[in-house]
Amino acid sequence: MLRKDGPMRIVVMVSGGGTNLQAIIDSVRDGQITNTEIAGVISNNKNAYALERARENNIPAMCISPKDYVSREEFNEKLLEAVNEFSPDLIVLAGFLVVIPPAMIERYRNRMINIHPSLIPSFCGKGYYGLKVHEAALKRGVKVVGATVHFVDEGTDTGPIILQKAVEVHSDDTPEALQRRVMEQAEWKILPRAIDLIANGKVYVADNRVIIRE
């Protein structure tokens, strides 16, 4: 990912409130993420508050919605075009709830990362997103949950794992309280850290596993 001619360019893809995007913006500003610039933010949801967060920070922001195209194929093409326009070195999926087109996975293999709100391989895969992840964890009665940053491959939450962080479950947790704690104590920490490690050439993939050399 290392550019010779300047900082690593990232595009952040969002669908919702954008608290992970905000953590990235704050970390770049505060120097926890170095050698990185946020080239753009793309959402499939024109009402995503994440777009507002981008605009407030003078980051180019756009909506590419499947609703605006006659077919999924056409949407997929337009989405990849919009991403390529930013010439990103790294794509960051931060709560992006749209299936990534296979052509995009191929083009950005090991250059596209995702944050998932569980300790993969628990509570992940099809149907496990947002609050559903935390509802399942509470239903199973696990005592520890957490978040995972991983490279994106053709599967759902199946790519090489980069970072994970554990979070304790409290006996009186509701799904909402648990989600918030996982975001505050895990997601908002490991996603910026993963970006900084990648931006500084410290992350390698071998045999589908990630090696971090600090």
* Sites for ligand GRF among residues 69-128 (CB under 6 A): 94-95, 115-117
Interface residue with ligand GRF, options 13, 16, 91, 157 (CB under 6 A): 16
* Least distance (Å) between residue 170 CB and ligand GRF: 18
Helices (H), 6-130: 19-30, 49-56, 72-85, 102-107
Annotated catalytic, 116?
yes
User: Which window, 9-17, 31-39, 81-89, 161-169, contacts ligand GRF (CB under 6 A)?
Assistant: 9-17
Closer by beta carbon to ligand GRF, 14 or else 194:
14
CA-to-CA distance for 111 and 159, rounded, in angstroms? 11
* Least distance (Å) between residue 109 CB and ligand GRF: 20
Cβ(165)–Cβ(143) below 8 Å: no
Place of tokens 């964890």: 137
CA-to-CA distance for 128 and 61, rounded, in angstroms? 27
> One-letter amino acid identity for 175?
P
Closest CA to 103 of 120, 127, 84, 90: 84
Interface residue with ligand GRF, options 10, 12, 13, 20 (CB under 6 A): 20
Residue 160 makes contact with ligand GRF by CB under 6 A: no
Q: Where on the chain is the footprint of ligand GRF (CB under 6 A)?
A: 14, 16-20, 50, 94-95, 115-117, 130, 183, 187
The set of catalytic residues is 116
